[in-house]
A and B are shown apart, each in its own frame.
Chain A
Amino acid sequence: MLNTLSNLFYRRPAILTLLLLGPPLAWIGIVYIGSLLALLLQSFYHLDDFSGTVIHEFTLATYAQLLDPANLTTILRTVAMAATVTVFSAIIAYPIAYFAARYARGRTKALFYLAVMMPLWSSYLVKVYAWKLILAKEGIISWVANTLHLGWLLDLLLSTPVIGGSSLSFSYMGTFLVFLYIWLPYMILPIQAALERVPKEYVEAAADLGASQQRTFRDIILPLSFPGVVAGSIFTFSLTLGDYIVPQIVGNSRPMIGQTVYTLQGTAGDIPLAAAFTVVPMVIMAFYLLGARKLGAFDAL
C-alpha cells in the first residue's frame, strides 16, 4: 500500500504537491482569506442609527461616511504619521545597515545581526512600555534634560503647536518616537540585504575611474541600495498605518485609524464602518506596493 502510493508520488509529482499544499492552503484560504472577505462584505452593510442594528443590505453609505471631515482628518493624520516615521527610520537605519553590510566581518557581523534581530523579535508591548517609562514627566528624558540644564529646550519643544503636548507621553512627538523605535529593525534588515548585493566590482571600478568616496556613494551605492529602503518602508509604513496600541498608550486624544477601528467595532458596535475603515489602509498599501514594485523593492525583500 505505502509502496503503491510512493510510486504514484514519484510518477506524478503534481499529486504529491497537491496533497502537501492542500491542508495549509485550506487553512489560509478558509480562516484568513475567508475572514478578510467577510470583513469586506460587512463594509457594504450599514448601521441603522435609530435601532443600532446592522442592516444587511448592499449600500455604499458606509463608505460615504469615511468622507466626513472628522474621519478624513483621522486618515490624513495617520498617513502623515506613517510617512514621517518611514522617512526618519530610513535615515537612522541606513548607517547601521551600511556599517553591518560593508565593514562588519565575522563575529562583529553576527553580533550586529543579533543586535538588530533581538529588538525586532522582543515583545511589542514591552517595547511600548519601555517608552512609557522613558517619556514620562518624571522619567529619564526629563532627568537628562534637567541635568544638562536643557530643561528649557524640552519645554520649548513641548510648547510647539501640533507636535507638542503636556508631556512627551501625551504628544505626537512621543507617538512618533515609539513608532520609530518599534519599526526601526524592519527598515535595517532590507537595507542591509540590498547593500550586501551591491557588487564589489562596481565600487572598485568607480574608485579606479577616479570617483571620490562621496561620489561613489552617491552615484553607485545609494541608487543600488535604494530598493532596500523602499522594501523597508513597506513595513514601517504599513505597520504604522494599522497600529492602535502605540497611540493609545503614548499620544494625545486625537485618534489614528487603528484606534478608530478598535472603538467602532467595540464600544460603538458599528462593524460596517470599522470594516470600511480597515479598507483604507488596505487600499493605501495596495497602491504603495504597486509603486514599490516599480522601484524594484520586491527583489530586495
Chain B
Amino acid sequence: MRSEASWPLKIAAGAGLLFLHLPLLLIIVYAFTTEERSFQFPPPGLTLHWFSVAWFDRPDIWPPLWLSIKVAAIATFFALIFGTLASAALARATFFGKDQLSLLFILPIALPGIITGIALRSAFDIMNLPFSTWTIILGHATFCIVVVYNNTLARFRRMQGNMVEASMDLGANSFQTFRYVILPQIASALLAGGMLAFALSFDEVIVTTFTAGQQETLPIWMYGELIRPRQRPVTNVVAIIVIAVTMIPIICAYYLTREDKD
C-alpha cells in the first residue's frame, strides 16, 4: 500500500471538501454587503450596518429566537432522559426482538421528516390537541432521543462491566452504583448527546412547520424570509448566529466522544 495519495485523488477529495464549505463562507460574506435587494456578487461594498439593524431595529427576530431556545432546551431534557434509559436497557440485555426495538428508536431520523411531521399533525387533529409550544416539543424530543441514544449507547458498550460488579460487591446498591460509578463514566457522552440534540432541535424546520401552528421558531422565521425577503443581509446575520449556535456544540461533542469512535 502506498503511503502517498495520487494527485487525481487529492484533487478530487480537495474539490469535494471545497464544495462542502464554500457555500457556508458565502453566507458570511453576504452579511456584510451593502446591497440590500439582490444577491449581487461581488458585493458592491462592505458594511457592519446589518448587525446593528438585526440587533436594534428588528424586534421580529427576538421572539422566534427565544422560542427556539426554549423548545430546544426542553426537548433536549426529555431526550436525555429517554435516550439514556433506552441505551442503558439495550446496551447489555439480550432478548428476542432487540434488533427491531433498536430500529424503532432510529426510525424518526431514518424516515423523511415530512412523514413524521404530517403524522404528528394528523394525530393532534384526531385528538383535538391545539398547537402550543408543547406540540413542537413533542415532535422535537422524538427525533432528539435518537441522538442521545446513539451517543450513550457507544459509551455503554465501551464501559467495563466489572466496574459495576465491583461496586455491587463492595456493598453499593443499584442507585449508588449508578450515581458514583456509571454516571461519571457516561457524563461526557451525555453532554455530547445533549449538545447535538440541542443543535438538531434548534434548527429543525421540516417537522416544526407541521407542529407549530401559528407559532414562529427561528428556522420558521428564516423560512419566511427566504420566501418573502425583506432586508436580505439581516437574514444572513441571523444565519451566522444559527451557524454559531449549531457549530460550537458539534465541535465540543466531537472532542467529548473522540474515544468512542474507535
Interface residues of A (CB under 8 A from B): 2-3, 5-7, 9-10, 13-14, 16-18, 20-21, 23-25, 27-29, 31-36, 38-39, 42, 92-93, 95-96, 98-100, 102-103, 110, 112-119, 121-134, 136, 138-140, 142-143, 181, 184-185, 200, 203-204, 207, 213, 234, 238-239, 241-245, 248-249, 258, 261-262, 265, 271, 274-275, 278, 281-282, 285
Contacts and interface: CB of A to CB of B under 8 A. Distances in A.
A32 B16 contact: no
Contacts of A99: 5, 9-10, 12-13
B24 interface: yes
11 contacts: A17-B89, A24-B85, A28-B107, A32-B119, A122-B243, A126-B203, A129-B236, A139-B41, A185-B20, A261-B114, A271-B125
Contact of A126 (B17, B114, B243): B243
A113 B261 CA distance: 11
B173 A2 contact: yes
B250 interface: yes
Contacts, number: 261
Contacts of B254: 113-114, 117
Contacts of A132: 39, 226
A38 B17 contact: no
B159 interface: no
Given A95-B16, A124-B203, A207-B1, A258 B123 contact: no
Nearest to B139: A31
Interface residues on B, range: 35 or more
A155 B23 CA distance: 22
Contacts of A98: 9, 13
Contacts of B3: 103
Nearest to B205: A125
B259 to A, nearest CB: 12
B141 A27 contact: yes
Given A96-B17, A122-B243, A200-B1, 20 more contacts: A14-B93, A25-B104, A27-B145, A31-B138, A33-B104, A95-B12, A102-B5, A114-B254, A115-B20, A122-B250, A123-B203, A125-B226, A129-B239, A133-B41, A138-B38, A181-B20, A207-B1, A245-B223, A249-B226, A262-B209
Interface of B: 1-5, 9-10, 12-13, 16-17, 19-21, 23-24, 26-27, 30, 38-42, 78, 81-83, 85-86, 88-90, 93, 95, 101, 104-105, 107-108, 110-116, 118-123, 125-126, 138, 141-142, 145, 149, 168, 173-175, 196, 199-200, 203-206, 209-210, 219, 222-223, 226-227, 235-236, 239, 242-243, 246-247, 250-251, 254, 258
A239 B242 contact: no
B interface SS class: helix
B166 to A, nearest CB: 14
B40 A39 contact: no
Contacts of B107: 28, 32
Contacts of A33: 104
A244 B38 contact: no
Contacts of A112: 17
A96 B16 contact: yes
B41 A28 contact: no
Contacts of A239: 112
A242 B112 contact: yes
